[in-house]
Structure 1
Amino acid sequence: MSLLELRRLVVDQQERLEAAGLMTGGSVAIRTPPSLACIVTMLAGWRAGAQVALLDHRLTTHEVGKAIARLSSQLVVEPVEEVTGRLRGYFEVTTRITPLRGGRPAATPHALLQLSSGSTGPSKVIGRTVESLLGELDRYSRLDDFPRRGERTVVLASIVHVLGLVGGLLQGLAAGSEVVLANTQTVDGVLNAIAAGDAPTTVLGVPSQAALLTASQKPPRLPQLRRMIVGGEMVRTDVWERFTRNYHADLGVMYGMTEVGVIATDLTGSTRPGLAPVSGMRVRIEDRQILLGLPASPYVGEADPARFVDGWLRTKDAGSLDETTGLLTVHGRLDSQVSIGGLKVDLSEVEETLTSLPGVTEAVVVQGTGIEAFVTVTDRKVFDGLGALLAARLAPYKRPRTLHDLSEIPRTVTGKPVRNTEILRAAAALTASGRRAGDPAHLDTDTAGV
């Protein structure tokens, strides 16, 4: 689609929003799947001078209701018919505009409202001003290895969340590169999207999608594929090795947050695990925690007052800065550091140990009744042997007290692993219910020789 045609559609949608009551300084919530309608409505809302709140279409009706109540939007834009298809990456939808009783004009100067991923707790309302968004786009423009005019970006990350929205869609529009949403996010769907054009192509997504692409037994030759760039969590070494070997392309990493966007990058995989802070981003370490210098708090409504203090946002991520190279290494969440019998245990170390074991495809480790690990494995024999393998690799106080076998790891709508113990246990129980009687989906390592 040409920019001229996109502008025409945006103007038409702006007229519909204004006819429904939207004015400068108003507020509109958008709950549509990845689609032209979603992009057009978002741009139309901004063109009308309104505050736009983006909601993931995969939220349940109950979750949407709670979110709308918190946001107090005046209008909501939704599909006329409910959409389905967990692995679909692009939809053709017709939308309706509904005025909301009790909705109010924007109470803050933020142009964009988003909800945090909620991987470790309740979602927060995060606001981005025009200046914040333009600042992030400027940071992208200074990255030598990010797509430019004449290139393509296949966006797998959700366009209602920060990576897909700013790094994919808005950066593509600003830079003049072609933005492609894969019709399906299956292996074939993604590979077909890459192969559909001859221009140098970058894939933008999350580590689990990179892992999915490495599952292809005979990956096609794709000379146009320059690299894949992922964000949201760190990339396992085995995934990085398989991807770069199978596709002869780079697998890069970005570290960022919904609150600020991109923070640090290694787009070529040449400095891993170190990341270079992007130009214009102030980063420092205090008590092992990564702090970011911001002009104002990004939170809207209730928020932890200790999270943003004296112009510095506490990320709750552990990290270190190399004084010689200036590279930032992210060590995981600070809340992954727990005390067991007075001894400190880094749960991310336990996760890394588990995922390094043959046959273990994914792992999430949390502190529940002791250390609990939730894993996906290639077959049952792998799960049964985990206790003995861990005994040779981890000190007794670091080993999970309980191992749970899951058919798949629960994830947030942004693709991050859920770390809520209750949700993980419910997933383990669901896995267990699908097994034959007497074949449990958990292993008590206290009685498994660990």
Structure 2
Amino acid sequence: MTTRPVRQVLPLVGGTRPDDVARLRRALAEVVARPGPLLLPVAPGEDPAAVVTLLENTARPDLAERADVVLRTSGSTTGTASLIAMSAGALLASARATHTRLGGPGSWVLALPAHHVAGLQVLLRSVVAGTPTLVLDTSAGFDPEALADLLMGAGARGDGGARLYLSLVPTQLRRCLDSPRASSALACCAAVLVGGAATEQSLLARARAVGAPVVTTYGMSETGGGCVYDGVALDGVGVRIENPDADGVGRVVLTGPVLAEGYLHAPADATTSFRPSCAGAPHAVLTADRGRLTGGRLAVLGRLDDVIVTGGVKVEPREVEEVMTRLPGVAQACVVGVPDEQWGSAIVAVIVARDGQGLAAEALRDAARERLDGAHAPKEVVVVDALPARGPGKTDRREVARLAARALAQGRP
């Protein structure tokens, strides 16, 4: 298909290096103030020409004309990222709705890469609030002690009386809670948004026990970032469940002013999709997530394709992961299905220990069997140093499944 080129594209490096962040913030402020070049945040070290070429060869130049910023997914489901056309209006609607929900504008701390939607929204919320962005440079790795210094310094200065906000992924929150100083410093914040991946209830309980004002967020690049906070949609955002089963569980569908225009480029096997407005139905994002609405509150139960069928029984990985992360010494758990001749899929739990903890796979498996029925109890447990990740804080379940299969084939559960 022959297409015409999109308008001028402005690629800028994201990440967390202060100079790069400052340039991206200035460009973002200009984009939301007036139409201009199509802003394309890219990762540090990435060749922007390859992304620009893909963008210019897209079959949807009409979307590019309506967009102001190009966002990209993490590719955590399909392994290939999508390019998303996002308008400045949608990004601003998200930023303003966030401030309304949290109690007003404030100073934001950037601890996430600015080329991903969560980090980009931190910059935009700062622009909207008219406050400086406090940047934690994580290019050499996330340091909870450095975050503690930044938060405590901001708290001591008062920063003009502005409320202090922070956005983290669960892995960062976990590392903060393992540090007494960082745990205490979280209390300097008016809110600590936690999203990008599922957050175990045990981790939330630890955070709230030390007074950290955590707020769980649910959303995606297609929704301009988090649009459901602690299970309740932001103002203007609609949530419904499509084709619910007898338990009220089905695909999560989102509507509202925060949505992207659509995909400029998406892999053929993408599981999240846009439904254009027609016949009175609003523009909507059909997510790849399963959920349930109870009293207007959304519970996200996992990805549509995460459910494991073992011995004819459907197993929700999140349910098993919640049990595993409550076991002593366990920091993270990812539960996957590995092909098995007897069961169809065997439940395997891939575990990361807390710092300094030594864990025995067999002991963990026995402990899980005491707490779970036969279908849900892991057939094997694999202990690793870290879970494979794609994007900020997202576990790469495909790679975890491959890792588990290799470990079992080598006889090293």
1:351 pairs with 2:321: yes
Of residues 364, 372, 384, the one that matches 1:406 is 384
Q: 1:300 to 1:201 in 2, by over 3 A?
A: same
Distance 2:322 2:402 in 1: 18
Q: Which residue of 1 aligns with 2:119?
A: 164
Q: 1:259 to 1:106 in 2, by over 3 A?
A: closer
CA offset digits 1:302-343 (Å, max 9, x no partner): 456982335332111111222xx4222222212222322322
Amino acid at match of 2:168: G
**SS state of the match for residue 299, structure 1?**
strand
1:186 shift after superposition = 0.6
1:405 shift after superposition = 1.7
1:67 shift after superposition = 3.8
1:372 pairs with 2:348: yes
**SS state of the match for residue 235, structure 2?**
coil
**SS state of the match for residue 256, structure 1?**
strand
CA contact (8 A) 2:63 2:261 kept: no
- 1:51-450 equivalent positions in 2, closer than 5 A: 51-57=38-44, 67-72=51-56, 107-121=64-78, 122-145=80-103, 148=105, 151-166=106-121, 168-184=122-138, 185-198=142-155, 199=158, 200-217=163-180, 222=185, 224-246=188-210, 248-261=211-224, 262-266=226-230, 275-287=231-243, 288-293=250-255, 297-302=261-266, 307-310=273-276, 311-322=283-294, 325-369=295-339, 370=345, 371-378=347-354, 379-421=357-399, 425=403, 442-443=412-413
Amino-acid identity (%): 24
TM-score, normalization by structure 1: 0.72
TM-score, normalization by structure 2: 0.78
Distance 2:35 2:24 in 1: 10
CA contact (8 A) 1:55 1:114 kept: no
CA contact (8 A) 2:63 2:262 kept: no
Amino acid at match of 1:279: D
1:277 shift after superposition = 0.7
1:41 shift after superposition = 4.6
Q: Which residue of 1 aligns with 2:7?
A: 25
Distance 1:27 1:341 in 2: 52
Amino acid at match of 2:349: A
RMSD between aligned residues? 3.2
Q: 1:289 to 1:58 in 2, by over 3 A?
A: farther
Distance 2:178 2:7 in 1: 48
Amino acid at match of 1:338: I
CA contact (8 A) 2:6 2:65 kept: no
Q: 1:26 to 1:427 in 2, by over 3 A?
A: farther
Q: 1:361 to 1:282 in 2, by over 3 A?
A: same
**SS state of the match for residue 416, structure 1?**
coil
Q: 1:415 to 1:130 in 2, by over 3 A?
A: same
CA offset digits 1:205-240 (Å, max 9, x no partner): 111111111101455754633332111123223322
1:141 shift after superposition = 3.6
Equivalences, count: 364
Amino acid at match of 2:239: V
CA contact (8 A) 1:52 1:111 kept: yes
* Deviating more after overlay: 287-296 vs 202-211: 287-296
CA contact (8 A) 1:139 1:279 kept: yes
Amino acid at match of 2:332: E
Gap runs ≥5 in structure 2: 244-249, 277-282, 340-344
Amino acid at match of 1:71: L
**SS state of the match for residue 154, structure 2?**
coil
Amino acid at match of 1:117: S
1:124 shift after superposition = 1.2
CA offset digits 1:246-291 (Å, max 9, x no partner): 3x3311111111001232113xxxxxxxx11111112111131110
**SS state of the match for residue 300, structure 1?**
strand
Instruction: Report the structure number with the largest CA radius of gyration.
Output: 1
